[in-house]
Amino acid sequence: DARVTQTPRHKVTEMGQEVTMRCQPILGHNTVFWYRQTMMQGLELLAYFRNRAPLDDSGMPKDRFSAEMPDATLATLKIQPSEPRDSAVYFCARAPGPPNTEAFFGQGTRLTVV
């Protein structure tokens, strides 16, 4: 099953609060991507992992964002503290197996920071 589930689907939070977004299941030997989508910038790659190790997180503001895989089936993206400019839709995707395989996206988490 290629489906990826993201939770929560919607999140409204106050500036300064911590936000955690989840993505699962992530199965072994997957590449996991985190993207942020806004009207102005389109889809921006924040970070991507393979076998739970970060390959590139240069797209992520590291002073407030962190991406991890707490266990083999779960990927998380945390923002602490959140700011209004973080308001966007955040997508995770997984690409199973070798690099030439198809990527499957979750439905996204719509984050609003007020």
Partner 1 sequence: KQEVTQIPAALSVPEGENLVLNCSFTDSAIYNLQWFRQDPGKGLTSLLLIQSSQREQTSGRLNASLDKSSGRSTLYIAASQPGDSATYLCAVKGGSEKLVFGKGTKLTVNP
Site residues (vs partner 1, CB under 8 A): 31, 33, 35, 42-43, 45, 48, 50, 55-56, 91, 93, 95, 99-100, 102-108, 110
55 token code pair: 């390959």
Shorter beta-carbon distance to partner 1: residue 50 or 81: 50
Query: Least Å distance between CB 110 and partner 1?
Result: 8
- Distance (Å, rounded) from C-alpha 62 to C-alpha 70? 18
Shorter beta-carbon distance to partner 1: residue 30 or 82: 30
Shorter beta-carbon distance to partner 1: residue 35 or 65: 35
Torsion of CA 64, 70, 76, 77, to 10 degrees: 10
* Amino acid at the residue 31: T
> How many other C-beta atoms can be found within 10 angstroms of the C-beta atom of residue 47?
22
Query: Least Å distance between CB 9 and partner 1?
Result: 10
Shorter beta-carbon distance to partner 1: residue 51 or 80: 51
Those residues with Cβ within 8 angstroms of residue 37's Cβ, 6 or more apart along the chain or in another chain: 43, 44, 88, 89, 90, 91, 108
Query: Least Å distance between CB 80 and partner 1?
Result: 25
